[in-house]
Amino acid sequence: MLTSIATVCLSGGLVEKLHACAAAGFDGVEIMDADLIAAYESPEEIRALCDRLGLTIDMFQPMRDIEGVSDDVFAENLRRAEAKFDIMQRLGTDLVLVCSNVATASVDDDAVAAAQLGLLADAAAARGIRIAYEALAWGRYVDDYRHAWRLVELADRPNLGVCLDSFHILSRGHDPAAIEEIPAEKIFFLQLADAPRLDMDVLSWSRHHRLFPGEGDFDLTGFLAHVQRAGYTGPLSLEVFNDTFRQTDVTRTAAHARRSLSWLADRTARERGTWADRLPEPQRAQGIDFVEIGGGDLDAVDRLLDRLGFAFRGRHRTKPVRLWTAGDARIILNEQLRAERPRLSAFGLVVADAASAAARADALGAPAVYRRSYAGEQELPAVASPDGTEVYWNDAPDGWLAEFEGGRGVESFGGRVDHINVAYPWQDFDEAVLFMTSAVGLDAEPPADVPGPQGLVRSQVMRSRDGIVRLPMNLAPPTAPMPSRHIAIRTGDVIGVARAARARGLDFLPVPDNYYDDLAARFALDPELLATLRELDLLYDRDDAGEFIHFYTPTIGDVFLEIVERRGGYDGYGALNAPVRLAAQRRAGVGA
Amino acid sequence: MLTSIATVCLSGGLVEKLHACAAAGFDGVEIMDADLIAAYESPEEIRALCDRLGLTIDMFQPMRDIEGVSDDVFAENLRRAEAKFDIMQRLGTDLVLVCSNVATASVDDDAVAAAQLGLLADAAAARGIRIAYEALAWGRYVDDYRHAWRLVELADRPNLGVCLDSFHILSRGHDPAAIEEIPAEKIFFLQLADAPRLDMDVLSWSRHHRLFPGEGDFDLTGFLAHVQRAGYTGPLSLEVFNDTFRQTDVTRTAAHARRSLSWLADRTARERGTWADRLPEPQRAQGIDFVEIGGGDLDAVDRLLDRLGFAFRGRHRTKPVRLWTAGDARIILNEQLRAERPRLSAFGLVVADAASAAARADALGAPAVYRRSYAGEQELPAVASPDGTEVYWNDAPDGWLAEFEGGRGVESFGGRVDHINVAYPWQDFDEAVLFMTSAVGLDAEPPADVPGPQGLVRSQVMRSRDGIVRLPMNLAPPTAPMPSRHIAIRTGDVIGVARAARARGLDFLPVPDNYYDDLAARFALDPELLATLRELDLLYDRDDAGEFIHFYTPTIGDVFLEIVERRGGYDGYGALNAPVRLAAQRRAGVGA
């Protein structure tokens, strides 16, 4: 697989962008005209830098508003083109993108457009330059790749072919199957972009909201499969206009972009049953091995877990690490993170082949995590997710339990980890979605907005298909503090757990009385249940499938716990209660 | 005029919101259900707080998905409603908003919907409660205010009327003229929101992009005129769902919101030729009196102006302030701002009645500026704009010139201030637009996005109709540094000014060579002109009306100068050159 990326995807100056692309492992780049124009380096210097960095300049782009015009306008367009061909020869690239005419087209006649494309190709041929013609989704007369291909066929020049862009095709709902009818040698270039399904004008959608493959709603594996079956063997190139990636760190975004292509090629190969470009097998999570809270002083967390009814299972033989359990829910307290406030620092997944899971994450560019271990201790491979939370894989689940000694507590309830709630600043959100999809094997559910007291919090649930791993991710608004993370424990009797915890002196996040008045209005609840909810600061939700009862502990450092009970087939997270929780936490002095 | 605001417009908890609304001078509030639910204070406490703050609770909102349903669903809806009526009685408010059914409507029959609204009204009547029925733009069967009014007429209950919301009416392009056919006593409430024209689904548009009056594209004065002519005398209430205002400072946003109503009522009165609610007369700017650069040490700016060809006109008699001029362009250097980096600190406008201009700004809540002056010195009234830049008004233009003594320089060119470019962080942008519209009397032109190396910069030109005052405002992306501000001086011979300045040793912002290659490709430029542009680091643009040639000085502190020449009828700002300028400034170590 050859990989490429348009320089317009990244922030900074052209030289920075090229360094970042090379560092991320791209084979080539598409150089955007505007990036070159704003650079002090000459085309010859850029060419030499790309040579040194091992980057091919796969395409120069774009040439706009060429075809479908009157003769005098076309003559002027040819003059413009010749000037750009000069630049291309200095850059040492032989392929130029020509987008279908948006602004100046005045002749809606395929014969005229094809003739003009032919003349442009002839002018290019004299310089050894090839033309990749692309239908923009908002082209004046040509807005469909099949139409662009008809024009290319009609013009019939060896150095004229098409450029296919997944956004322009899928955003319009055009069937990509006809790509297979285009001869491989006439597909000169392939641009890939994902996007969320948005109901807005396609130009704004394209210019502001494109995403890297795996982060949006397009069926890019199906799209790529068509292109591969057509016989295309050129670069897979990313062209992603996105307001966020235009301003995030260039090196990090380039790595993120490169990961999206590895994911896409792997997924497409698996769906097609082909072997090239496969990464190590994705490992389905069979369970959550543990969740870890790290920090310099976790005494308050010990106290919290004790009052909740967790059992203390002892200290680690060689490290300042403690284990608490409630049934299958295992929480590790790690005081090796010396100077830090308590936070959700890691979680572990039970898989069939931990080494393969780690190898896959490594192939996707996730940084490996090192932790010192001693002879006889179980070693778990791990990587860091984009916010630093570490992800461990374990294929010998109970192996490390024996490393903890001196426990004495008795569990007062059985539970399991229901979900792990993490949070990302807005600029790292899409990267996190791709990481969780590609390296951890979770799927993205449709996102929702939750009104918090300091702005809308976007909630994006990532989960394994069977629901064993559920990872709601919160996106913080730019000016608001990051939401705290939390661990939700599922039990069959949340009322009993709450009552016992209260008897042991646990503080609850207090719920306003008005909430219960509203609950009574919304649902015709049994008065006794309502009284119990009110007494114990429990929150409630219901849908057609079942009921959800839950409560929150106060926040310690940057983490808190939630205890949940799912009755019937309720599969949500009590989203309607989130604004109440956020307001209560803000009042308690915690970040929104 | 009675003013009100929905609590959902603001950030924070309900009590904070109420305090901010009172401080901003609102007469009342609409309390959003969700705000009360998340509050620990009981409805009785909220009622008492509003009493103490002098706020009426004008409406409780909203009750959703009531009408157009089967009998059993309606029975359950009535039960829900009764529970909310309880809350309303505790709050002491008698008006509730009922939005047209979005989710559960299953009976598309006006007779059924009207009958159910009638029954709801009867239940409310028993408590002394009135129902304001509103057509949501995305209601299932009722999405037009005229339809909502037909249902209200059909139901025919004294305590059932309509609520009109400008967004739901104008977003759908419905003609608001028919409002005048609704009897005044049946218009129970009026909600006002502006919005930019966006081509997207109306639900997302409404939930994320509403603006305060004067900040968007809706004809709200025309809308309000219809409502006033219908005889409505109730509160003008703001209901603005906006992702930004949900997170900005509650006190500042409430003041900003209140200003928008004063502006709207004033503008409507002027358009209708009525007298109530008028503010002091807006003052058309006849010219730019001066632009001021403030800072602790402005020596570098003196040097810059000298090399540009400005004349030194002397020091102020009593203050550490200096004056430089080039024709009508007057730049004041103010070293009273001791510890600060050089920045654009103020500008002055020539008007017919300075006191009236200041009184108007004061009535709009703009903070007055105090500057010490001595006997015999001209006093100019001034206010601070949202970013702190001071705006002065002068109706005796040359009055203060004589306060400067000891000048000796000779102007080497004649000029005038072409435009003043300011910058705002994204969260203050709409407030700034409203300030410039309402207090400074400028109009907003359609905004444009300029790709900078650290993200898209939104450019919003504010100008007086005659083009005498032009104020392009840049909106910085959240993570990028604030763009520097600048003063653009217009001359009839930019090439001569540039050449002379270079001869005097002025540094120019260097323009990449690649830019000139692109210029040659874009325009069939005279080779001699192209060579001159390249030699002097001049930028060029052209449109159907004329040509634009300009150059930039290096940035000092937070400010730089631009010299521009407009040939023919060119009326823009060289937007295509902005990315090159931004990249060059970033390379020179200046904020994006």
Answer yes or no: do A427 and A488 share one domain: yes
Q: Are the CB atoms for B4 and B236 separated by under 8 Å?
A: yes
Mean pLDDT of chain B: 94
Q: Are the CB atoms for B343 and B399 separated by under 8 Å?
A: no
- The answer to the question of residue B203 being in a domain is yes
Residue among A198, A513, A583 minimizing CB distance to B42: A513
The answer to whether B204 contacts A204, with C-beta atoms less than 8 Å apart, is no
Is A37 part of the contact surface with chain B (CB cutoff 8 Å)?
yes
CATH number of the domain enclosing A8: 3.20.20.150
The pLDDT, as a whole number, for residue A590 is 62
> CA–CA distance from A449 to each of A458, B207, B241 (Å)?
4, 10, 13
The pLDDT, as a whole number, for residue B590 is 61
pLDDT-based confidence at residue A105 (cuts at 50, 70, 90) = very high
pLDDT-based confidence at residue A247 (cuts at 50, 70, 90) = confident
Average pLDDT, integer, range A470-499: 91
Q: Is B547 annotated as a binding residue?
A: no
- The answer to the question of residue B280 being in a domain is no
Q: Where are the beta strands (DSSP E) in A151-304?
A: 160-165, 187-192, 236-238, 287-294
The pLDDT, as a whole number, for residue B591 is 47
Average pLDDT, integer, range B442-452: 88
The answer to whether B517 contacts A579, with C-beta atoms less than 8 Å apart, is no
pLDDT-based confidence at residue B3 (cuts at 50, 70, 90) = very high
Question: pLDDT per residue over B494-520, tens digit each?
Answer: 999 999 999 999 988 999 999 999 999
Answer yes or no: do A458 and A541 share one domain: yes
The dihedral sign for the CA sequence B521, B525, B527, B530? negative
Residue B411: pLDDT above 90?
Answer: no
Answer yes or no: do B365 and B449 share one domain: no
**Tokens coding A136:** 């923009």
Alpha-carbon gap: B181 to the closest alpha carbon of chain A (Å)? 34
CATH number of the domain enclosing B386: 3.10.180.10
Quick one: chain A helix, strand, coil %, rounded to 5?
35, 25, 40
Is A200 part of the contact surface with chain B (CB cutoff 8 Å)?
yes
The residue assigned the tokens 């850029």 is: A46
How many CB atoms are closer than 10 A to CB A284?
A: 16
The pLDDT, as a whole number, for residue A592 is 38
Is B197 part of the contact surface with chain A (CB cutoff 8 Å)?
no
Is B381 part of the contact surface with chain A (CB cutoff 8 Å)?
no
The string of DSSP letters for A304-370 reads: HHHHHTPEEEEEESSSSEEEEEEBTEEEEEETTSTTPPPEEEEEEEE-S-HHHHHHHHHHTTPPB--
Output the known binding site of A for a divalent metal cation: 134, 165, 191, 239
Answer yes or no: do A435 and A459 share one domain: yes
Average pLDDT, integer, range B179-204: 95
The answer to whether A11 contacts B453, with C-beta atoms less than 8 Å apart, is yes
Residue among A247, A479, A514 minimizing CB distance to B247: A479
- Judged on CB neighbours under 10 Å (0-12, 13-18, 19+), A173 is exposed
Answer yes or no: do A249 and A298 share one domain: no
- The answer to the question of residue A224 being in a domain is yes
Is B579 part of the contact surface with chain A (CB cutoff 8 Å)?
yes
Residue B374: pLDDT above 90?
Answer: no
* Domain span at B295: 287-406
Is A257 part of the contact surface with chain B (CB cutoff 8 Å)?
no
Answer yes or no: do B76 and B162 share one domain: yes
Q: Which of B384, B406, B428 is the last residue of a domain?
A: B406
Mean pLDDT of chain A: 94
Q: How far apart are CA B284 and CA A355, in angstroms?
A: 74
Per cent of chain A over pLDDT 90 is: 83
The answer to whether A40 contacts B11, with C-beta atoms less than 8 Å apart, is no
The residue assigned the tokens 């559960």 is: B104
**Tokens coding B209:** 């992009």
Q: How far apart are CA A478 and CA A484, in angstroms?
A: 15
Is B87 part of the contact surface with chain A (CB cutoff 8 Å)?
yes
Q: Which of B406, B441, B458 is the last residue of a domain?
A: B406
The pLDDT, as a whole number, for residue A481 is 78
Output the known binding site of A for Mg(2+): 419, 486, 562
Q: Where are the beta strands (DSSP E) in A76-167?
A: 95-99, 130-134, 160-165
Residue A239: pLDDT above 80?
Answer: yes
The answer to whether B587 contacts A13, with C-beta atoms less than 8 Å apart, is yes
Q: How far apart are CA B1 and CA A381, in angstroms?
A: 68
* Cis upstream peptide for A196 (omega within 30°): no
Answer yes or no: do A397 and A492 share one domain: no
Q: Which of B194, B284, B209 is nearest to B241 (CA)?
A: B209
Q: Which residue of A has its CA nearest to B82?
A: A521
Q: How far apart are CA B232 and CA B184, in angstroms?
A: 5
- The answer to the question of residue B281 being in a domain is no
Is A43 part of the contact surface with chain B (CB cutoff 8 Å)?
yes
**Tokens coding A120:** 């442009």
For residue A471, what is the enclosing H or E element?
Answer: strand A470-476
Answer yes or no: do B451 and B401 share one domain: no
Answer yes or no: do A324 and A439 share one domain: no
The dihedral sign for the CA sequence B99, B101, B104, B109? positive
Is B543 part of the contact surface with chain A (CB cutoff 8 Å)?
no
Answer yes or no: do A486 and A533 share one domain: yes
Answer yes or no: do A250 and A314 share one domain: no
Question: pLDDT per residue over A288-340, tens digit each?
Answer: 999 999 999 999 999 999 999 999 999 999 999 999 999 999 999 999 987 78
How many CB atoms are closer than 10 A to CB B299?
A: 12
Number of structural domains, chain B? 3
Q: Is B395 annotated as a binding residue?
A: no
- The answer to the question of residue A282 being in a domain is no
pLDDT-based confidence at residue B171 (cuts at 50, 70, 90) = very high
Which of A60-64, A102-106, A359-363, B435-439 has the least mean pLDDT? A60-64
The pLDDT, as a whole number, for residue B457 is 85
Residue among A198, A453, A455 minimizing CB distance to B243: A455
The pLDDT, as a whole number, for residue B373 is 72
Residue A159: pLDDT above 60?
Answer: yes
pLDDT-based confidence at residue B592 (cuts at 50, 70, 90) = very low
Q: Which of B239, B272, B305 is the last residue of a domain?
A: B272
The pLDDT, as a whole number, for residue A54 is 97
Q: How far apart are CA A522 and CA A1, in angstroms?
A: 55
- The answer to the question of residue A277 being in a domain is no
Q: Which residue of A has its CA nearest to B582?
A: A38
ipTM, 2 dp: 0.88
- The answer to the question of residue A38 being in a domain is yes
- The answer to the question of residue B363 being in a domain is yes
Answer yes or no: do B225 and B124 share one domain: yes
